[in-house]
Chain A
Amino acid sequence: MEHIRLPKVENVRLLDRVSPRRSRVGTLYLTATHTIFVENKTGVRNETWVLHSLVCSVEKQAAAASGCSLLIHCKNFQVLHFVVPREQECHDVHLSLQRLSQPERHTELYCFSYKPNVDEKERCQEWDFLDLKADYSRMGLPNSLWKLSPVNQHYKVSDSYPADLFVPASATPPVIVGSSKFRSRGRFPTLSYYSKENHAAICRSSQPLSGFSARCLEDEQMLEAILRSNPCSDFMYVVDTRPKLNAIANRAAGKGYENEDNYSNIKFQFIGIENIHVMRNSQQKICVVVTACELRSPSMSDFLEGLESSGWLKHIKAVLDAGIFIAKAVAEEGVSVLVHCSDGWDRTAQVCSVACVLLDPYYRTLRGLMVLIEKDWVSFGHKFSHRCNHLVGDPKEVSPIIDQFLECVWQLMEQFPCAFEFNARFLITIHSHIYSCQYGNFIGNNQRERIELGLRERTHSLWSYLWKNQADYINPLYRPDHSQTQGLLRPSTAPYCFKFWRGLYNRFDQGMHPRQSVEDYLRAIREETQQLEEQLASHKQVGPGVVYIHDVPLPGLLRCRWKFRGMPVFSANVCFLPSFLWRDLPRSYVGSIITKGVSEYPERVPPMGRF
């Protein structure tokens, strides 16, 4: 509270970014957790809520006659442009927001003050919803080839690894500890995914500390043990996800990559995924393109050139290509793979999880994707706090690594519309909450930190929230028995198969999205079908001879109901309006020639950022 210099400013304008003349006037409130804009308009109570933790940057522009502009860029790609009448007020709001959006201590994060109406018992149950051990036993583990190792209890061997880890049955504690000493940050090779069918496994680690000539017997034994845990194969792949040049450069610092001569029966492979700094710059560029395309009359060339020069889709393709390489090695060749990058918590997490989505239909279900994120990202120590900038910190640590994973999944959904149980809204919701700090799941950088912060005791879990609201996230085209759903996905990686994810980057630009959503339509149809089925079943219960229909709405009425339901609060990616509610006004088509009134845009109401 001490950071709020000015709790309330009146006569603030919220500009419509596409047609600035359609702005709204209202009052701006600063609270401990949100910025709230309430429109002054009799009759309607139009509110825009922005969570402080979602604010990425606040920019104050030079004062003009109309007032002083304040631009708020959010981590969920929402951009808000306020005009505050007096410069001093703008200055105060600016300073307050800058501080509020950059908490210095974990305890300031929203998850610790977020208190939905849930009792303590229920809150505890939320955290029991997902159980990683259950996923490993789903894979068939432990078994005679892989065992649960207690070696990292109390995080003694690697403080960024989880306590429970699966290792080859033949790997003894001295081998594991020896190997961990030869790996960056002690992240020794351990199991990420095991294929019951053919015993092939995906293992992950950090880079070896090989320098120019160092070797480590235990590390070599560790890889040998992994190879032996796959009785069907006489070699394994070691995949270094970095560009070769980066890996070579690391040798000078005493790190590097495996020498094929020192390890028996490995095939070594580089896959050039760029580092976190390249990815950060790339996303920044794409954000500039997107924002620029909103402001002035954008040309197709500007957009495509911007898309190309950002390199974003190229990076997405690189991650997917790597995932495909590993998935094919496991499913088609039956060969185990060890994946690493430098520290083994960014590119490695991306590649292992993408491979899992390709390999195992389970990870394409609602619950499966949550488990996968919990396993390969949360438990294996992807540094969410640093990468998502939850606390004020080193800007060079920030990078959209998890964004790229979610986008890979989205690209796959575009190619396989029936193969995923969830929809794009699910991915976008997860994306938002990774950054929102509303739930405890993504706070901290690893398991050890999360336990110290007492997140299980003090915060809520996103996974159980998503599960309770699963109706919003179900892909109506998904059918567990569909041929597309089965086995390994074989996506095309031709460049033209990669699309710009408008649903994420232009989430808040309602006018840019299809005005009718096929998905919502189908969902409504399925709901109606279910009700019809119930009606028919109830008729059958009454028995032949007597016709009796419960007092239920006519199908036509049902469909009306759907039409009103058509716009879920948290889904700017779809804005299906029932046809009789359409206020579809023309957009600005005039360009440079302004004729009176011809350039009206639809009034775009930013969806509530209140979650």
Chain B
Amino acid sequence: MEFAELIKTPRVDGVALHRPFMPTVEGTLCLTGHHLILSSRQDNTEELWLLHSNIDSIEKRFVGSLGSIIVKCKDLRMIQLDIPGMEECLNIASSIEALSTLDLLSLMYPFFYRPMFEVIEDGWNSFLPEDAFKDLESMTDEWRLSEVNKDFSVCPSYPPLVAVPKYVDDDTLKKAATFRHGGRFPVLSYYHKKNGMVMMRAGQPLTGTNGRRCKEDEKLINATLRPGKRGYIIDTRTINVAQQAKARGGGFESEANYPQWRRIHKAIERSNILQESLIKLVEACNDQSHSMDRWLSKLEASNWQTHVKEILTTACLAAQCIDREGASVLVHGTEGTDSTLQVTSLAQIILDPACRTIRGFQGLVEREWLQAGHPFQQRCAQSAYSNSKPRQEAPSFLLFLDCVWQILRQFPCSFEFSEGFLVLVFEHAYASQFGTFLGNSTAERAKLSLPEKTVSLWSWVNRPQELERLTNPLYEANSLVIWPSVAPQSLLLWEGVFLRWNRSSKCLDEAYEEMGHIIAYNKELQNKVNSLRRQLAQLETEDPLLQSP
């Protein structure tokens, strides 16, 4: 298929662009296969380059022969294009609609994008499972890297290499996989160096109504327990939902068959409810009524903050079991690709200081989301402005980022990255020139040859100039577990994402800049003093007489 077929009018002159907090720009609108471009004849105005894949939906309005298109983006921005001429406007609108809803992955922009920067380190190779395992090996010899899934036949959503208990063989894994939703047998998610406890994740066990059991599954997870120790299974569903799952062949681990495990049910909502919540929240943020009652009631009705609280609470609980109770934990929900990953990844943010660095966080997203088979393609196909019937969209990953932001707000000096990094990751998960978030699993990414044909987001991020921009000036590494507060008063609306386009952030940005100045000036003086100190030390060794002034 040629993009040209979809572009009815490639170019219109005299188009006015309205953006929040920016002056109106007039210029020429061009449509290319992947971008909507508005370039102005004035020299000093910025051009707009908008990826079609970032467009969530559009709205058309006509006043006489002047048409307006309101473009609503997945990053929650709204822009308005005033296009002279009814026909042009209709053509542009239908072209945008067609180009922004292409289903074929191989037509996506990352396959066409060529980096304009020097790749210092190929992000596709930065976080391979075998490298992560080397770190694990340096701490314990109780685990091995299994190749049982090397052709993705045991579990299509798992990577080819997974860490499992050393003395559990591949046949056992294969049998356990048949007992778990989507073949997602329990695998290692995190090893807590301090006490050797682990966190594992899986899909739900397929017990069904007649209470099926699987010795291999029991053996697999029991192999992770120290003698005489009990572990916790954190089921991210309420007991009722878990019960109902039995009718569809799913279920949960019974006490009888898993006597060494204690089950805790927590309620994290499922994808369609989360998507609805996002839509309502964004609608509330865009409400122009200026009524306090209306805002608070809409915010409450969206339930977004409730979801943040539930997810964070469950992650804290998992972390608490591991760090304070000295127990290993298995986390699962239904498929094990959404709420499970939210919990396991957030627990690591709390427990593991390495995950709070820029590189460590990339590694966490790779391990716990991309390689763990979170279906990004399906979940991020549409965002809050979508009018089409929701299919498998859900802001699971955005909720994870929101929770990280909440912890960052409570521990502002404990993260190497700034809020901007989280916003960047959010944007790229929904629309990007990079291939990182394309596809739903490692298997799909391999099939599409993404590592060969596209550039990784991390290749771009891991360059000095970007790293500098994303670094939190307040960061001072600390090696401790950080326990966030989950009280309602402590959880805030993530303004940097949800109010980003609704209110000017000028004053807040200035404050952030000022903070940077204060710290940079301090560093500068420190360097000066230190260099003087060195000079002094040198003089002292050269001339012993100078030693006592």
Contact = CB atoms under 8 A, between A and B. Distances in A.
A533 interface: yes
A549 B532 contact: yes
A598 B299 contact: no
A267 interface: no
Contacts of B293: 308, 311, 314
B363 to A, nearest CB: 23
Given A290-B489, A514-B409, A516-B411, A584 B296 contact: no
Interface in A508-554: 509, 511-518, 521-522, 525-526, 528-529, 532-533, 535-536, 539, 547-549
Interface string B459-472: 00000000000000
Contact of B522 (A307, A525, A584, A595): A525
B510 to A, nearest CB: 6
A215 B531 CA distance: 80
B297 interface: yes
B525 A533 contact: yes
A598 B325 contact: yes
B303 A301 contact: yes
Of A298, A532, A582, chain B has the most CB atoms within 10 Å of the CB of A532
Nearest to A529: B522
A271 interface: no
Interface string A293-321: 11000111111110110010110010000
A509 B412 CA distance: 19
Contact of B292 (A317, A415, A598): A317
Given A308-B296, A515-B482, A522-B515, A586 B324 contact: yes
A493 interface: yes
B120 interface: no
B76 to A, nearest CB: 14
Contacts, number: 209
B27 to A, nearest CB: 29
Interface stretch (B83-91, B136-144, B501-509): B501-509
Contacts of B511: 417-418, 477
A303 B503 CA distance: 25
Interface string A566-591: 00000000000001001011110111
Interface string B296-312: 11011001011011000
Chain B residues touching A, majority SS: helix
A484 B488 contact: no
A555 interface: yes
Tier of interface size on chain A: 35 or more
Interface stretch (B157-165, B206-214, B315-323, B366-374): B315-323
Contacts of B262: 595
B106 interface: no
A536 B514 CA distance: 23
B413 A516 contact: yes
Interface stretch (A34-42, A65-73, A497-505): A497-505
A304 B507 contact: no
B519 interface: yes
Contact of A498 (B292, B323, B487, B522): B292
Given A512-B490, A579-B478, A586-B319, A549 B536 contact: yes
B316 A589 contact: yes
A597 to B, nearest CB: 6
B525 A529 contact: yes
B488 to A, nearest CB: 4
Interface in B438-457: none
B514 A482 contact: yes
Contact of A300 (B297, B305, B483, B519): B305
A331 B477 CA distance: 47
A547 B536 contact: yes
A496 B503 CA distance: 9
A300 to B, nearest CB: 4
Given A484-B507, A495-B296, A518-B515, A579 B476 contact: yes
B316 A586 contact: yes
Contacts of B519: 522, 525
B493 to A, nearest CB: 7
B488 A494 contact: no
A486 interface: no
Nearest to A527: B522
A304 B492 CA distance: 11
A361 interface: no
Contacts of B314: 589
Contact of A512 (B232, B489, B522): B489
Interface string A469-506: 00000001101001110000000111111111010011
Contacts of A479: 514
Interface in B494-530: 495, 499, 502-504, 507-508, 510-511, 514-515, 518-519, 521-522, 525-526, 528-530
B264 interface: yes
Contacts of A498: 292
A235 interface: no
A533 B529 CA distance: 9
A149 to B, nearest CB: 40
Contacts of A495: 290-292, 294-296
B482 to A, nearest CB: 7
A416 interface: yes
Interface string B411-424: 11110000000000
B485 interface: yes
B486 A589 contact: yes
B491 interface: yes
A245 interface: no
A94 B499 CA distance: 49
A311 B539 CA distance: 70
Nearest to A539: B532
Given A418-B507, A496-B499, A586-B316, A529 B518 contact: yes
B507 A585 contact: no
B549 interface: yes
Nearest to B488: A303
B410 interface: yes
Please provide the 9 A-B residue pairs with the shortest distance between their CB atoms, ordered closest to farther. A495-B295, A303-B488, A417-B511, A308-B296, A304-B300, A532-B525, A314-B292, A579-B478, A300-B306
27 contacts: A300-B305, A300-B306, A301-B303, A304-B299, A415-B507, A477-B511, A477-B514, A495-B291, A496-B299, A497-B503, A499-B492, A502-B489, A509-B489, A512-B485, A512-B490, A514-B409, A514-B411, A515-B482, A528-B522, A532-B526, A548-B549, A579-B478, A582-B478, A584-B483, A585-B324, A586-B319, A586-B323
Interface of B: 232, 262, 264-266, 285, 290-297, 299-300, 303, 305-306, 308-309, 313-314, 316-317, 319-321, 323-325, 409-414, 474, 476, 478, 480-483, 485-493, 495, 499, 502-504, 507-508, 510-511, 514-515, 518-519, 521-522, 525-526, 528-530, 532-533, 535-536, 539, 549
